[in-house]
Structure 1
Amino acid sequence: MFEDSLLEDRSALEGADAVLRRLAEAGARVRREAADAERPLATLTDDVRPRAVIAAGSEARLLRAVLEPVCPVPFVAWPAHGLPGWVGALDLVVVMASDGAEPGVVATVHEAVRRGCQLLIACPPASLVAEHAASRSTVLLPTSAADPLSAAVVTLAGLQRLGLGPVVDPQAVADALDQVAADCSPFLDVSENPAKDLAVSLAEAQPLAWGGTVLAARASRRVAEALRAASGRAALAADADELLPILESQVPRDPFADPFEDDADADRRPALVLLDDGSQDSLVRRDLNRLRAAAEHQDVRVCTVSQHHGSDVERYAHLLQTGMFAAVYLAVGLGRYVDL
């Protein structure tokens, strides 16, 4: 059973100090990685446009979500090791390997160098990936924090300089992460802390997470993964058309049901988690309203995490980080340990 008193219990919160501290330091990591990458970023220009961009490694799909709407050349997020057969010297291969050692990423980097591709890589300078990336066509963005989000933000800043992506300001993203850390501090009680409030709302529920835009949907998948790890329960992130049948099949809550029944887990109700990044797209707003109406009709709890200010990447970081804090507080309330 979830004990909300644990969210204000100093000893219980100390048990999650390591993961809470890592979440709180996300803004500092972005600043540090951006500062370390200043010199190589300054060498990037949009003088020569590549034929296509191929992204590999951790957070490649995040790059695709940000770049696809605006990238002036074809963009591919390549999930497998190696490269597509058509990739060659006219193409840009972007690799994020903040941990610096995954064998599949090493193979991809080696293949990019062998084919003479332009290579933009974010990885530790003293790593096997960096060794295989060495070439005249390689720009290495040094990383040290083993943080995929920080590496992705710096890489997006580099792609902006190449004329391939939108404006991404690492300082502004870091500020957004700092704001979430302040708002979700363990020293704030549940009435002031949106992450603790979300954790309490999901205490005995099976979360159904939704984000309407491509980036919000990606945040919803990451948050669902964290909630599964935190609670040991099912948590689903999906599109509106996939979530609506689940919501519509729910029987309205029985006000006389005993919450302490032995089979309570078998009848655990869902809770709808809406990650709203402020998109005014008519289809996104329609799906948001459909989900909310279905949940309210079937007496399903609705939890909304909203961020309507800042760039796309800033709003994504805000939604994602709030969900991550909530997952930690959910684990604390359940007496579990989670390492995100």
Structure 2
Amino acid sequence: MFLDEAVLDDAARLDAGGIAALLPHVASAGPQVRQSAVLAQEAGIDRLAADGRPRAILVVGVDGSALAAGFLAAVVGPTSPVPIIGHHEHGLPGWVGVSDLVLAVSATGTSAETRSAVEEANRRGARVAVVAPPDTPLAHLAEVAGAPLVPLVGQRPPHTAFWSLTVPLLVVARALGIVRTGDAAIEAAATRLEDVATRCRPSSESFVNPAKTLALELAGTLPIVLGTSAVTAVAAERATFQLSATAKYPALAGTLPHPGHYQVALFDGPFGAGLSRAASGGATVGVDDLEDFFRDRAEEEEESVRLRLILLRDPTSERPEVSRQAELAVSAAAERGVGVTELRAEGVDPLERLASLIGLFDFTGVYLALALGIDPSQTPAAVRDLGR
């Protein structure tokens, strides 16, 4: 695997090409939080509460927008009086009706799945709100239904619009009285994201830049990103999404206790301890191929991809039994020679804690792409609609 560590501290190369266009969008997360909260209020979100609390909230979105449901559920928390359910397919579940609220989220406003869900919601008489760019098919559906439309403003790549897509949902939940997240918490999240942007700025050298450091730790490994709470579970999903969309790099996401408790079993597989056993002769070798049997495997072992555990801790809301499981996972990794990186969510409110981790991984994906020689501003045709 080609890895150019020097590019991360080369000011001329960081200021050239696609990176110069992409990093400002990544660094705009803080202003996105503030702006999207204002746009949601201006869109008339409050009128969704005129008929009281809905029976359930269905959050519709696909690809990158699919994280919106998990985001809202994590920030609202387990004490929500209203179930929050994600939906990522065409149409709607059979139970959705006039007593329910459908929140449609799309970074492009063109998703066929999301459009069909809104059309069906309108036919069934459900309350609807839409977050999408103006002058798009989804925005037109909102206009036809007389539903609030929170517009996405500015021309930014879809995978850098996470906060513009999700914060309006939080404003909706506040209007419905199912969450108490106020302006102070929203401002704290915006400030936290600006702090992350400062610490992860391109001019900050690798040894003091947490995103560059993390990118170099991930390079050449197969990361397993495990959360320890609802908040860090969403951060883990967002991390793997960004690594894939920006750096074209694979990673696994999970949560303790489930499904992380069985993902830890991978430590004994071919990308963990099992790799060393195979390299030392533990694997079955065909004796008919003497040349293969006697070949030098030392260089192959150096080049082999190994697992790396990225553990996202959440001391504020982590259950004691989950904390013990996290410690056992770290011990199991160490015993098997699997590298470990522990990151802690920072902040008092769930929104701020989520921002502290998502902000870091958004920068990490960009720096990992650069180190691997990938232009992070270019999206292949196969994934052009990520974040729909």
Please, what TM-score do these two structures have when normalized by structure 2? 0.78
CA distance in 1, matches of 2:220, 2:344: 22
Unmatched 5+ stretches in structure 2? 281-295, 380-388
Displacement after TM superposition at 1:225 (Å): 3.1
The one-letter amino acid paired with 1:25 is S
2:107 to 64, 77, 98: 98
SS in 1 for 2:163: helix
The 1:140/1:230 distance shift into structure 2, 3 A limit, reads closer
SS in 1 for 2:149: strand
CA distance in 1, matches of 2:103, 2:180: 16
SS in 2 for 1:328: helix
Identity %: 32
Please, what TM-score do these two structures have when normalized by structure 1? 0.88
The one-letter amino acid paired with 2:136 is S
Displacement after TM superposition at 1:178 (Å): 1.0
Q: What's 2:208 paired with?
A: 192
Task: Please give the residue correspondences for 1:188-227 in structure 2 after superposition, counting only pairs within 5 Å.
Answer: 188-227=204-243
Aligned length: 337
CA distance in 2, matches of 1:121, 1:294: 45
1:290 to 316, 319, 328: 328
The one-letter amino acid paired with 2:265 is P
Question: Could you report, residue by residue, the CA deviation over 1:28-54 in whole angstroms, capped at 9, with x for unpaired residues?
Answer: 222222222333245454761222222
SS in 2 for 1:209: strand
The 1:296/1:253 distance shift into structure 2, 3 A limit, reads farther
Does the alignment pair 1:61 with 2:70? yes
Displacement after TM superposition at 1:75 (Å): 2.9
Displacement after TM superposition at 1:232 (Å): 4.9
Does the alignment pair 1:144 with 2:153? yes
CA distance in 2, matches of 1:135, 1:230: 35
Displacement after TM superposition at 1:188 (Å): 0.7
Q: What's 1:6 paired with?
A: 7
CA distance in 2, matches of 1:31, 1:66: 17
1:117 to 126, 148, 173: 126
Displacement after TM superposition at 1:332 (Å): 1.5
The structure that has the greater radius of gyration is 2
The 1:233/1:307 distance shift into structure 2, 3 A limit, reads closer
SS in 1 for 2:109: coil
Does the alignment pair 1:158 with 2:172? yes
CA distance in 2, matches of 1:149, 1:193: 23
Is contact 1:95–1:122 with CA below 8 Å preserved after alignment?
yes
The 1:227/1:122 distance shift into structure 2, 3 A limit, reads closer
SS in 2 for 1:275: strand
Bigger fraction of residues in helix: 2
Task: Please give the residue correspondences for 1:1-340 in structure 2 after superposition, counting only pairs within 5 Å.
Answer: 1-14=2-15, 15=17, 16-39=19-42, 40-43=44-47, 45=49, 48-57=52-61, 58=65, 59-67=68-76, 69-134=78-143, 138-145=147-154, 147-167=161-181, 169-229=185-245, 232-238=248-254, 239-249=259-269, 250-251=272-273, 261=299, 264-265=302-303, 267-278=304-315, 279-339=317-377
Is contact 1:212–1:287 with CA below 8 Å preserved after alignment?
no
The one-letter amino acid paired with 1:165 is V
Displacement after TM superposition at 1:231 (Å): 5.3
Is contact 2:32–2:164 with CA below 8 Å preserved after alignment?
yes
Displacement after TM superposition at 1:67 (Å): 3.9
Is contact 2:224–2:253 with CA below 8 Å preserved after alignment?
yes
Unmatched 5+ stretches in structure 1? none
Displacement after TM superposition at 1:65 (Å): 3.6
**Aligned-residue RMSD, C-alpha:** 2.8
